Amino acid sequence: MMVWMLLGAVVLVLLVLGSSVRILKEYERGVAFRVGRLRGPLGPGVCLVFPGLDKLVRVDLRVVTLTIPPQEVITRDNVPARVNAVVMFRVTDPERSVMAVENHAVATSQIAQTTLRSVVGRADLDTLLAHRADLNDDLTSSIAAQTEPWGVEVAVVELKDVEIPEAMQRAMAREAEAERERRAKVISARGELEASAQLRDAAITLSESPASLQLRYLQTLLELGADQNSTVVFPIPIDIISPFLNAMRQQAPVDPGVNGYAPGTQTGQKDPR
For residue 271, pLDDT over 50 is answered with no
Cβ atoms within 10 A of the Cβ of 98, count? 23
pLDDT at site 207 = 75
Which residues does residue 81 pair with via DSSP β-bridges, in sequence order?
73
Rg from Cα positions in the chain: 48
For residue 219, pLDDT over 90 is answered with no
For residue 141, pLDDT over 60 is answered with yes
Q: Alpha helices, DSSP H only, in 148-261?
A: 166-208, 210-226, 238-251
Name the band, by pLDDT with cuts 50, 70 and 90, for residue 238.
low
Average pLDDT of 45-61? 85
pLDDT at site 256 = 52
Question: Where does 64-164 sit in CATH, by number?
Answer: 3.30.479.30
* Three-state DSSP class for residue 254: coil
pLDDT at site 55 = 86
The full set of domain ranges for the chain reads: 17-60, 64-164, 166-213
Taking each helix axis from N to C terminus, what angle separates 104-121 and 132-147, rounded to the nearest 10 degrees? Answer: 140
Cβ contact 212:206 at 8 Å? yes
Name the band, by pLDDT with cuts 50, 70 and 90, for residue 262.
very low
Cβ atoms within 10 A of the Cβ of 157, count? 26
pTM of the model: 0.61
The mean-pLDDT minimum among 41-50, 56-65, 183-192 falls in 41-50
Burial 33-58 (b: 16+ CB within 10 A, else e): beeeeebeebbeeebebeeeebebee
28-34 and 54-60 as β-strands: parallel, antiparallel, unpaired? antiparallel
d(CA 51, CA 183): 76
